[in-house]
Amino acid sequence: MIWTRWLLPGALLPALALQACVTKGTHTTTLAELATVQDERAALRADVERRRAIEADLRAEMQEASREADGREGALLRQMERLQAEVELYTEESERLEMLRSQARAEVDRLESALRQRGGETRDLQQRLASLAAIEREIRDRNRIYEDVIGRFQSLIDGGQLSVAIVRGRLVIQLPQDVLFESGSATVGREGRQTLAEVGSVLADLDDRSFQVEGHTDNVPIATSRFPSNWELSSARALAVVQLLVQQGVPPTNLSGAGYGEFQPIAPNDGAEERRRNRRIEIVMLPNLNVIAGTQLPG
């Protein structure tokens, strides 16, 4: 027992020393590890705090960015609304301008049509003025010829052998039948030849004028082998006068003959005097055909 008691301490000393030695190293290691862990924990905490700070900053930045985005979105929405309103206004203005453009085109078309119409009216008026001027010249020329014929036929007029008048705008030289023909005859007598010689000399000077010799009778019928009716008698007398005028120098191209019988009286056939007036030869100066052809008045 005593050996054992004294033995144990000797035997235990190395173990205890070993135990004490391990524990101290372990403790030191543990303390080192603990310090490292604490340092790591502190670093982690610092890192967490740093990350939290960064997260807070990021969250703040996100909130700020969100607020900025909201502001920008609102501004964009307001800008879009303003642009939409401007588009609608532009559309309305475009429609109004298009309507005005259409109205302007219609007005231009109307004015161009009116201008064309006025141009046509102006041309018509110019043509009418030219026609009236030509007619006026023709009237002046006719009146000049009328005055000239009156002057040159004055002795025959005074002697009752013919008369000169303007009838329906035409110069008419009227010769009674008694001066030219015997009753029922188409042969011009001596007195008639003398009268027609003077008439022919005047008409020959009017070589730019055409004349129609017209024969007229009363309503007393005639029925002979040569003249079955007053048509034939009046026509034959007109042609006889035409032939004598040609002999006096009147161009045949300026002469024509026509027989009207009793159908254009100048007086009722009620008495001898009226019938005598209806038996006549009329030499009518025809209107200038060139003037007529060029003076068709518009409308």
DSSP secondary structure code for residue 205 in this structure: T
Predicted pLDDT at 285? 94
The token duo for 248 is 């006096």
Go through 115-137 and write b for each residue having 16 or more CB atoms within 10 A of its CB, e for each that does not: eeeeeeeeeeeeebeebeebbee
pLDDT tens by residue, 171-189: 999 999 999 999 999 999 9
pTM: 0.57
Q: What is the DSSP letter of 209?
A: -
The answer to whether position 43 is within a domain reads: no
- Is 223 inside any structural domain? yes
CA atoms of 149 and 179, how far apart (whole Å): 19
Average pLDDT over residues 220-229: 94
* Under 8 Å between Cβ of 180 and 236: no
Is 140 part of any domain? no
Q: How confident is the model at residue 22 (pLDDT cuts 50, 70, 90)?
A: low
Tell me what pLDDT residue 212 has: 98
- Decide which of 195 and 11 is more confident: 195
Mean confidence (pLDDT) of the chain? 84
Instruction: Give the pLDDT of residue 2.
Output: 45
Domain span at 267:
153-294
Q: Is the pLDDT of residue 6 over 50?
A: no
pLDDT for position 276: 95
Tell me how many domains the chain contains: 1
Query: The domain that contains 282 carries what CATH number?
Result: 3.30.1330.60
- For 25: left if phi > 0, alpha if psi spans -120 to 50, otherwise beta; the answer is alpha
Flag whether pLDDT at 100 surpasses 50: yes
Question: In this predicted model, which residue has the larger pLDDT, 4 or 101?
Answer: 101
Please give the full DSSP string across 132-181, using - where no structure is assigned. HHHHHHHHHHHHHHHHHHHHHTHHHHHTTS-EEEEETTEEEEEEEHHHHB
Nearest to 238 by CA among 270, 261, 254, 220: 261
**pLDDT beyond 50 at 233:** yes
User: pLDDT band at 5, cuts 50/70/90?
Assistant: very low
pLDDT tier, 72 (very low <50, low <70, confident <90, very high otherwise): confident
Two tokens at 177?
């039948």
What is the average pLDDT across 222-241? 96
Choice among 22-31, 190-199, 211-220 with the minimum mean pLDDT: 22-31
d(CA 274, CA 68): 125
- CB of 223 closer than 8 Å to CB of 229: yes
High-pLDDT (> 70) share of the chain, %: 89
How far the first Cα of the chain sits from its last, in Å, is: 173
Query: What amino acid is encoded at 129 in this protein?
Result: L
Residue 245 confidence (pLDDT): 98
Q: 56 versus 285: which is more confidently predicted?
A: 285
254-289, pLDDT tens digit by residue?
999 999 999 999 999 999 999 999 999 999 999 875
Give residue 254's identity as a one-letter amino acid code: N
Which of these ranges, 1-15, 58-72, 85-99, 233-247, has the smallest mean pLDDT?
1-15
**What band does 123 get if pLDDT is binned at 50, 70 and 90?**
confident
Q: Is 196 contained in some domain? A: yes
Residue 24 lies in a domain: no
Residue 201 domain-assigned (yes or no): yes
Residues with Cβ within 8 Å of 260's Cβ and at least 6 positions away in sequence, in order, are 214, 215, 216, 234
Model confidence pLDDT, tens digit, residues 83-94: 788 778 778 888
Copy the structure tokens of residue 228.
Answer: 């079955």
Rounded to whole angstroms, the Cα distance separating 175 from 201 reads 16
Write down the pLDDT at residue 289: 59
Q: How far is CA 226 from CA 82, 187, 263, in A?
A: 112, 12, 20
- Is there a domain that residue 124 lies in? no
Which residues contact residue 295 at a Cβ distance below 8 angstroms, ignoring those fewer than 6 apart? 130, 131, 132, 134, 135
Q: Does residue 119 belong to any structural domain of this protein? A: no
